[in-house]
Amino acid sequence: MKRSEINTILRSGQEFLDSYQFKLPVWASWGPREWRSAPRSVREIVDHQLGWDITDFGSGDYQGRGLFLFTVRNGKPGVGPKTYAEKIMIVGVNQETPTHFHFKKTEDIINRGGGVLTLQLWSSDRDGAKSDRPLDVSIDGIRLEVASGDYVRLTPGESICLETGVYHRFFGTDGPVLVGEVSRVNDDHTDNRFFEPVGRFPEIVEDEEPWRLLVSDYAGWIGN
């Protein structure tokens, strides 16, 4: 992805968040200059990969297959007392997050506003293949059985709990969707199993300076 494209997506996303009065931490507005002069006290932000995250999953087509995320809080696997994470996401109309499951993370996916969030769900077997076994899922505390491969649609205010090993893909309908995620500690490096090979963090063509740093930028701009 080009840095100019990422900057445009970030600015548009910030406007979308503002329209829903979803406020971010103070450091969310820092640019590269502020990060380079930041004190050591920000290490939790860097080490736990809090902040902006834009991905096209290696598709080269962000609008068709991509996701806008901001990690608000997150622990670190096996380190410290924080065992939870929270994200806010923006999912566009027919913008797919590709099929995947998590080995360790159980998560609640929440429609915070906007359009309808459509999820397609599959059970999996011990080898990580899709299974025909029906799924027992919880939508806002109400248990129901869903056929493997079937769709669940969340309107604003609704949420679903996705347990480990549940394959899922999702996209927006009837307008872009503000999506929340509350989960166990998030680890995008080791805990995601995508059904088909994808790129989680984009390779960036630096055609202009970053407006905001992505979590994948921290190592290059801030260092260890």
Low-confidence stretches of the chain (pLDDT < 70) are 223-224
Given its phi and psi angles, is residue 33 left (phi above 0), alpha (psi -120 to 50 degrees) or beta? alpha
For the stretch 73-129, pLDDT in tens is 999 988 889 999 999 999 999 999 999 999 999 999 999 999 999 999 999 999 999
Which 8-state DSSP code applies to residue 40?
G
Per-residue confidence (pLDDT) for residue 222, from 0 to 100: 80
Per-residue confidence (pLDDT) for residue 40, from 0 to 100: 86
- H or E element at residue 152: strand 151-154
pTM of the model: 0.95
Per-residue confidence (pLDDT) for residue 104, from 0 to 100: 96
Domains defined for the chain, CATH in brackets: 3-221 (2.60.120.10)
Name the nearest CA neighbour of 54 among 219, 217, 223: 217
Count of CB atoms situated within 10 Å of the CB of 130? 15
Per-residue confidence (pLDDT) for residue 194, from 0 to 100: 96
Per-residue confidence (pLDDT) for residue 223, from 0 to 100: 62
Which residue pairs, CB below 8 angstroms and at least 24 apart, start in 192-196? 192/100, 192/101, 192/102, 193/100, 193/101, 193/102, 193/103, 193/128, 194/98, 194/99, 194/100, 195/98, 195/99, 195/100, 195/130, 195/167, 196/98, 196/99
Per-residue confidence (pLDDT) for residue 224, from 0 to 100: 58
Per-residue confidence (pLDDT) for residue 78, from 0 to 100: 81
Q: Which residues contact 175 (CB under 8 A, 6 or more apart)?
A: 93, 114, 115, 116
Count of CB atoms situated within 10 Å of the CB of 112? 18
Q: How far apart are alpha carbons 107 and 149 in whole angstroms?
A: 19
